[in-house]
Structure 1
Amino acid sequence: MLRVGLTGGIGSGKSEVSRRLAERGAVVIDADKIAREVVEAGSEGLARVVAAFGEEILREDGSLNREKLGAIVFADSDRLAALNGIVHPLVGERVEELQRQAPDDAVVVYDVPLLVENKLAPMYEVVIVVDASDEVRLDRLTRVRGMSEQDARARIAAQASREERLGVADVVIPNEGTLEELDARVAQVWKRLRG
């Protein structure tokens, strides 16, 4: 099993690369997706979050009101630590379960947005960074995702710098061109990972 960490700043195209690697046969483990799954309506994780934060964090349909919970935890570091103390172990258990299910010869790609910020590079045999300039990322966030320029700049600034990400990279996938160019680069990387 080859453990690959995949990261890139917001708007870099990391999700496109992740999807293309999965299409080629990689087992993709998406940390953000799992974090959402472990607190889905009716889950043990959501029950624990409700026990810690109260019923007011639920929507009428019984699902988690992420905005309301976010307003609570991002204003109080102790409350954020409490939430992380509930969610992170559940995410860890699910990641381990997915790893166990992967074939021995699998390329397992861990899609980790904050790999650099959380100093996780040593956990992986290969770190892939999807790279695009801040200007390209800003354009994508405003034009494609509809963010305000101010919000997009704030999100870019809140993450590791481009230089910090490139500093941990074993493989860099430049992504400032067309999807066809990206696809060709991913194909080359996949060939290298399987080699």
Structure 2
Amino acid sequence: MTGEGLFLTFEGIDGSGKSTQARILADTLQSDGYDVILTREPGGSPGAEEIRRLVLEGDPDRWSAETEILLFTAARRDHLERTIAPALAAGKVVICDRFADSTRMYQGLSRGDLRRLVDQLHSLMIGREPDLTLLIDMDPETGLSRAKGRQTAEERFEDFGPDLQRRMRAGFIDLAREHADRFRVIDGNRDVEIVAKDVAAIARAALSKGGR
């Protein structure tokens, strides 16, 4: 753990169930007596939510990967300043649905070899990683079917199709190996309740180690 609070993020392909698991964990930890902030990316602050609409809606080719990296980084900076950093400084548990690892994958890997650029901007403008990242691993075809079934306006990345899902799944697994100190990989191809029990056990263990 860094600082006074715990910064925990959920990652995974579209439709992996990470958003559901983030909500369940927030409720679970609140019941345990922790002060919890549940947030998301892109978004989580007024300015970042405005940028969210720009990057998640519209045609798949609306932005270049380079432009997307700048937009996501700008949203993340506002989110960090206005939501994440103040909550951690107050000793709260921050649970975030996606963070920089998603940008490393969706922009840094999937649409060109831009991972180095993502990391450079992250180092310059964000400067911190989560204390714990829970990767909900999901079969790519199942995940895409779930994501498209939501039928929302925010389907720009889903519209890139199943090939992107497969590459993202492989990329996330590689990223978890690269950052094994903070990643925990959880099988998301199971009942929601079973996944939630595994998630809660890992989060509670991290909080216990932090002396909270």
Alignment partner of 1:145 is 2:150: yes
Distance change in 2, residues 1:17/1:156 (3 Å): farther
- Whether contact under 8 Å (2:40, 2:96) holds in the other structure is yes
Q: Provide the aligned length of Structure 1 versus Structure 2.
A: 164
Distance change in 2, residues 1:156/1:18 (3 Å): farther
Give the corresponding residue for 2:168: 161
What does 1:99-138 correspond to in 2, within 5 Å?
A: 99-102=85-88, 104-112=90-98, 114-117=102-105, 118=118, 123-138=129-144
The residue type paired with residue 111 of structure 1 is D
Distance change in 2, residues 1:109/1:70 (3 Å): same
Question: How much has 1:70 moved relative to structure 2?
Answer: 3.6
**CA offsets, 1:43-69, max 9 Å, x none?**
xx69xxxxxxxxxxxxxxxxxx869x8
Which runs of structure 1 show a deviation greater than 4 angstroms over 4 or more consecutive aligned residues?
82-85
List alignment gaps of at least 5 residues for structure 2: 31-35, 106-117, 123-127, 177-182
What does 1:1-195 correspond to in 2, within 5 Å?
A: 1-23=5-27, 24-25=29-30, 26-34=36-44, 37-38=46-47, 70-71=58-59, 74-75=61-62, 77=64, 81=67, 84=70, 88-89=73-74, 91-98=76-83, 99-102=85-88, 104-112=90-98, 114-117=102-105, 118=118, 123-142=129-148, 144-145=149-150, 154-158=160-164, 160-169=167-176, 170-195=183-208
TM-score scaled by structure 1? 0.63
Give the corresponding residue for 2:113: none
Tell me: higher relative CO, structure 1 or 2? Use CA pairs within 8 A at least 6 residues apart: 1
Question: How much has 1:191 moved relative to structure 2?
Answer: 1.4
Question: How much has 1:90 moved relative to structure 2?
Answer: 5.4
Distance change in 2, residues 1:178/1:185 (3 Å): same
**CA offsets, 1:18-61, max 9 Å, x none?**
112221244233122337x4277xxxx69xxxxxxxxxxxxxxx
Structure 2 CA distance for aligned equivalents of residues 135 and 89 of structure 1: 31
- Whether contact under 8 Å (1:6, 1:14) holds in the other structure is yes
Distance change in 2, residues 1:88/1:134 (3 Å): closer
Max Rg structure: 1
List alignment gaps of at least 5 residues for structure 1: 47-64
The percent of aligned pairs where both chains have the same amino acid is 18
Structure 1 CA distance for aligned equivalents of residues 73 and 142 of structure 2: 32
- Whether contact under 8 Å (1:3, 1:126) holds in the other structure is yes
TM-score scaled by structure 2? 0.58
Q: Superposition RMSD on alpha carbons, in Å? A: 3.9
Distance change in 2, residues 1:5/1:39 (3 Å): closer
Structure 2 CA distance for aligned equivalents of residues 154 and 92 of structure 1: 26
